[in-house]
Amino acid sequence: MEAVSGWVLDVYAHPQSGVILWLLCDDGRRRSFRQEFSVAFRVRGPSPRLRELWKFLQPKGVQLASVKGKDLYDGEIGDVLEARFDAPDSLMPAFWDAQQAFPDLTYYDVDVSVAMRYWAAFNVFPFARCRLTVNAGRILTVEPLDCKWDIDPDPPPLRKLYLRPDSDPSNTKPKFLQIKFDTFDYKVPFEKPRDLLHQLNAVLNKINPDVIITQYGDTWLFDHLFKLSEQTGIPFRPNRDAFREVERRKEYIYKSYGKSHFRAKQVHLLGLFHIDEKNSGNYAKNGLMGVMELARISGLPVQEAARRSAGAGISAMQVLTVLQWNILVPYQKQKGETFKTWRQLIKLDRGGIIDAPRPGVYRHVFIIDFMMMYPSLMVLFNLSPETVGSNDPDAWPIGDTGLKVNRKQRGLVPETLEPMVEKRIAIKRRLKSLPKDHPERERYQAQADTGKDLGVVSNGRMGFANAIFGRLPAYEAIAYLGRDTVLIAKEIAERHGFTVVHMYVDSLFLTREGAYTEADIKPVMDEIEEKTKLRIDLDDIYDWMAFDGSRKNPKMPVANRFFGPNREGEFKVRGIALRRQDTCAFVAGLQRDAMELMGLEKDPARLAERVPDVIKLVRERCTELQSGNIPLEQLVITRKLSKELNEYKASSAMFRVAKQLQPAGRVIGTGRIVAYLLTRCAGGSYPWDFADDLTAGMIDVRKYKELVIRATHELLQPLGVSEEVIRGWLGGATYVLPEEWAYMGNMELPLFTSIKAPVLPGIDVTGLWPGSNIVTVDGVITLPDLTAPPGGIAEGDT
Amino acid sequence: MGRTILTAAELLKELKKDLKPFHRTIHLPDQLELDSIYEELEYYRAAISCTGTVYPLEVMLVAMVLIERKHANEIEKRLNDRIDQLIESRVKDGSSQRLGS
């Protein structure tokens, strides 16, 4: 008998019985152990039917028992039938048989993974530190040594191996495979498959990696390597568990927040992890640290945590809590929407508060936001699917919603979320205390971002139709309290003399004449915290914040399109081209550079003086574009198909590209990404996949210029510049301030109200640049210098 | 959830659609005034949404009254400022004449 300690890497079912656990031991060895571990599903229903099911399952060698069951909503539900299996893999086939024969019964604890059951049983999690007592390779006891809510967990010394083909296989056939580990970095040609496999096997044996990070590993690389292995007879076994094949998951389409997403097929390894950079959304967003954090917190296996959304993480966390409470996990959602009147529906069926900010530029904008507002509300008010909608006479009424919440009994969701909320707040505080170049910042940031993602979806999950523990009244109660909380904060800010420029779900944009330091906003934040009992954070103070209006009508507000620099010159940007996924790198880069030129000006009243620099930059980039000096990769536009191709009615550039890709054998459908260039041939758009045939001369410069004009307009529109004026400027017109700028006089910062003196008879030179030329019917006139430079307004003038 | 009922922005669109015959029939200067009221109404979307009433038109009418009230107050303030300026300039001029006399 021996004691072994280390980090838990993986747990999965043994084909015969129990589970296999992989441990990264303190001595550096990676060891696997077996452990007896049975799993069970439970069934609820009328006793005669349960007896029939008993008889049905008995010949299949299942261990059957009658046990007491507890349901989340109904509490104690009396006797349920328990079907227990020593081999976890036997559970699902038996369940399918049972459900087919007895569809009228209610099934519980069915589709809970063996890993989740294991975490719940032994209070461990992926990358948990633990001590095992082992005898002859069999685990006897498991002792957890750390907690998933530690903000400074002892990090496992993971060995990482990178495998990357030199091109996108769906576009060009790769020639080399890059193999990278620590300081080793070399390329092996695919055309020498024997060498490739021998070298790969040597690397796998020598390095024995814990994580293999690939590009196109899910969709191409592993399949290709297995094919080469078959052709050459050289074995290729990337699993640590040499007796098992790799696990394959099928591709699928899912919807999230009204958008369709495609998830490609997957290759999962046993005993180590495979992460495909091109098919792992969470890894792409938060890196390996973020994946590890999501796995630790939620219990999702690492390879799933890399690929799945935060919503799956929240569901997994709820399942863990329920398992630890010894409550049955329903196989499918059981509680639907309760009946409500039309009046109730109108009142309750709403999300967060989203204001319509007035377009323009605002000076010294404070953004304050509630930290984890929705999760905090759930914790504070005990909002959970089983607590909201209570008929208990002592239950607490939620405003005028007609809903009541039971606050006597702790809810599932608050119980699940509270430590997560506390952890994120602690990490955020730690981050604020660290210098910007601190080596630990990256890890804390990944942890904080993961917590934020979980917090963001925790509310939506409650209203999600397929969430097992979701229930609409709970969602409605949370949304109501969220709106109420933000309105309380708004009222407090206004009492302190602040103008509320914008409200967005859990954040407020505030400005006040003469206020520009943290000390100015602190009393507001203190009062909000005291009144709401929620933590509020100062996101930052911005020298100015520009809000766009609608493209067609600049006076029409747009909720989420703004940009502005903080005191360090770092921008907060939402909704403009450089944030949108369908913007090509050329346009995004140009917009970013132009925006940073504007950011050099701290005083919004002088922003107009930066316009010539912006236009100069845009002209230079357009000249580069015209002369074919922009690499084609910079011009690639990527868009996602939101539906099947035959459902499209309009023939857009994306549609035409998709149609071109189909005959070439590309699978095109909902959620798939289409990459293309705007060209003067092939119907105006050309698939990036076929770009080898393209030359710079085929690019439709006019269309890209149009995108440039729109992106520039997004930056200058808050100053009152129209697209037509930008077109004129780019077409060579002189720097004449547009007539529309006068409209700024009605705005918070009337930038040009002081430059309205007509100096030439019959010509309104409102805002004209000194020394510039204007064309009149009498010929070209050079304007004299004005006393006040354009935009250069003294503080008192505003 | 969230897609069952119309958003405030959609309600405003519906209002404009319902009033289209009215809009067409009134004279151009009135149409321009109405358009400017529509534009201002957009800034009340959050408030219309939060009210959550089955009669959104009533809330929109309250918002329109508010828009006009703000406009009237603004004019009144500018007028008062102008009157103050005039009084001040006359006092400086040494004139004892009352305004309007």
Which residues face A10 on adjacent strands? A22
Residue-level pLDDT at B54? 85
* Entry pTM: 0.85
Interface confidence: ipTM more than 0.95: no
How far is B101 from chain A, CA to nearest CA, in Å? Answer: 32
The pair phi, psi for residue A720, each rounded to 5°, is 95, 15
Per-residue pLDDT reduced to its tens digit, A187-214: 999 999 999 999 999 999 999 999 999 9
**Closest by Cβ to B43, choosing from A343, A358, A463:** A358
Residue-level pLDDT at A193? 93
**CATH number for position A549:** 3.90.1600.10
Q: Residue B1 and residue A349: Cβ atoms within 8 Å?
A: yes
Alpha carbon distance A434, A582 (integer Å): 35
**Closest by Cβ to B43, choosing from A348, A353, A557:** A557
Residue-level pLDDT at A600? 94
Residue A457 is encoded by which pair of tokens? 């979806």
Residue-level pLDDT at A113? 94
Q: Are residues A370 and A509 in the same domain?
A: yes
Q: Is A459 helix (H, G, I), strand (E, B) or coil?
A: helix
Q: Are residues A375 and A480 in the same domain?
A: yes
Q: Does A343 touch chain B (CB under 8 A)?
A: yes
User: CA angle A438-A442-A445, nearest 5°?
Assistant: 115
Q: Are residues A414 and A544 in the same domain?
A: yes
Alpha carbon distance A17, A87 (integer Å): 4
In a domain, A164, yes or no: yes
Residue-level pLDDT at B95? 58
Cα–Cα nearest to A462, from A450, A448, A447, A473: A473
Res. A412 pLDDT band, cuts 50 70 90: very high
Residue-level pLDDT at A741? 52
Q: Residue B5 and residue A349: Cβ atoms within 8 Å?
A: yes
Q: Are residues A382 and A515 in the same domain?
A: yes
Q: Is there a contact between A156 and A24 (Cβ–Cβ < 8 Å)?
A: yes
Residue-level pLDDT at A47? 94
Q: Residue A350 and residue B1: Cβ atoms within 8 Å?
A: no
Residue after which a domain boundary falls, among A536, A552, A575:
A575
In a domain, A787, yes or no: no
Instruction: Tell which of B1, B3, B4, B59 to mutate to test the A interface (max A CBs under 10 Å).
Output: B1
- Measured N-to-C along each axis, helices A441-463 and A310-324 cross at an angle, to the nearest 10 degrees, of 80
In a domain, A40, yes or no: no
Give the up-direction half-sphere exposure of residue A789: CA atoms within 13 A in the CB hemisphere: 7
Task: Compute the average pLDDT of residues A686-702.
Answer: 83
A665: left (phi over 0), alpha (psi -120 to 50) or beta: left
Residue-level pLDDT at A694? 79
**Closest by Cβ to B4, choosing from A345, A356, A556:** A345
B41: left (phi over 0), alpha (psi -120 to 50) or beta: alpha
Q: If you search the block for the tokens 């049983």, which residue do you land on?
A: A121
**What are the percentages of helix, strand and coil residues in chain B, rounded to 5?**
80, 0, 20
Q: Are residues A224 and A373 in the same domain?
A: no
Q: For chain A, how many structural domains are there in total?
A: 2
Per-residue pLDDT reduced to its tens digit, A148-172: 999 999 999 999 999 999 988 877 7
Per-residue pLDDT reduced to its tens digit, A320-341: 999 999 999 998 766 667 788 8
Task: Compute the average pLDDT of residues A423-449.
Answer: 92
Residue after which a domain boundary falls, among A548, A575, A602:
A575
How far is B18 from chain A, CA to nearest CA, in Å? Answer: 20
Q: Is there a contact between A662 and A645 (Cβ–Cβ < 8 Å)?
A: yes
- For A685, the enclosing helix (H) or strand (E) is strand A685-687
Residue-level pLDDT at A668? 76
The pair phi, psi for residue B82, each rounded to 5°, is -65, -40
Res. A786 pLDDT band, cuts 50 70 90: very low
Q: Are residues A231 and A375 in the same domain?
A: no
Interacting residues of A530 by C-beta distance below 8 A, sequence separation 6+:
none
Residue-level pLDDT at A517? 95
- The answer to whether residue B9 scores a pLDDT higher than 60 is yes
Computed over every residue of chain A, the mean pLDDT equals 87
Per-residue pLDDT reduced to its tens digit, A491-525: 999 999 999 999 999 999 999 999 999 999 999 99
Residue-level pLDDT at A426? 93
Residue after which a domain boundary falls, among A223, A253, A271:
A271
Alpha carbon distance A531, A544 (integer Å): 29
Residue-level pLDDT at A779? 43
Q: Does A557 touch chain B (CB under 8 A)?
A: yes
Task: Compute the average pLDDT of residues A265-285.
Answer: 93
Shortest CA distance from A460: residue in chain B = B1
Residue A482 is encoded by which pair of tokens? 């969220």
A169: left (phi over 0), alpha (psi -120 to 50) or beta: alpha
Residue-level pLDDT at A80? 95
Domain that holds residue A554: 360-575
Beta-strand runs (E) in A374-457? 396-397, 404-405
Residue-level pLDDT at A470? 82
Residue-level pLDDT at A25? 96
Q: Is there a contact between A464 and A413 (Cβ–Cβ < 8 Å)?
A: no
Considering only residues A526 and A467, tell me which one the structure prediction assigns the higher pLDDT: A526
**CATH number for position A177:** 3.30.420.10
Per-residue pLDDT reduced to its tens digit, A110-147: 999 999 999 999 999 999 999 999 999 999 999 999 99
- The answer to whether residue A734 scores a pLDDT higher than 60 is no
Q: A–B: how many Cβ contacts below 8 A?
A: 50
Which residues face A12 on adjacent strands? A20
Task: Compute the average pLDDT of residues B66-70.
Answer: 95
